[in-house]
Amino acid sequence: MAEGAILRVRHCGADIFCRRAPPRCPLCGRSLRGAGLPAAPVRLPSPFRQGHRQPRAFLLRPTAGSFLGGYDGKSDLHVGITSSDGVVYNYDEEGIHRADTGWEQCISVPLVQPDMFGLLQQWDALLEEFSVGEAWLPHRYEEQDHNCYTYALAFINSVLTAQGKREMSKSEFTEKFVIPHTKKASKYITLHQELTANDLYIVPLPDPEQQC
């Protein structure tokens, strides 16, 4: 399903989410023209990225389908690591894949800062060398204990170790880097689903900032 823009208009102490800004407030019926800056439509930034345009990143997507194409919040997720030119290295029961398609709508966590010049140059070689290790042969795959997340985190930790830094546990990496992104994605998916079914989605503000 194509991703449509989500707009937010604030009026009558509520956030009014829509695809097209209404000319009048659906709560009070007053014109939104000239209603002040809060009532101006604001486009919400999408939390999803074209994964093949995200160099040196940790990517997360549904194993089947897409986040905005019917994802229910419970289905399995798949992760991968991108090379400098957006090839997604990922591991499953068939072994290591180097994908240049299929990761067009992802959550992306950048892994390398622009000032890390040495790592920027070495990234592809490190990723390829790590990925041909025996640990990532098809028969080693186990759905619960030796999976795509195991592979991605093991690579990240190998880079940290080479830099003389402390390794991260799965729970630590997830809480620090993944959950902030998935929380934003979850809210956006809810809005997308609501606006697929209805023209407007109205959420009262806890402390009304704009009254009629």
Residues of the chain with pLDDT > 70: what percent?
A: 96
**pLDDT over 60 (residue 2):** no
Q: What is the arrangement of strands in the sheet containing 200-204, beginning at the earlier edge strand?
A: 42-43, 7-11, 14-18, 200-204
Alpha-carbon separation of residue 164 from 159, 171, 189 (angstroms): 9, 21, 39
CB 59 within 8 A of CB 82: yes
The predicted model scores a pTM of: 0.88
Nearest to 91 by CA among 46, 37, 155, 32: 155
**pLDDT over 80 (residue 117):** no
**pLDDT over 70 (residue 127):** yes
pLDDT tens-digit map of 144-179: 999 999 999 999 999 999 889 999 999 999 999 999
Q: Read off φ and ψ for residue 118, nearest 5 degrees.
A: -65, -45
d(CA 199, CA 185): 21
Which pLDDT score, from 0 to 100, does residue 210 have? 47
What integer is the mean pLDDT of 66-70?
87
The confidence band for 3, taking pLDDT boundaries of 50, 70 and 90, is low
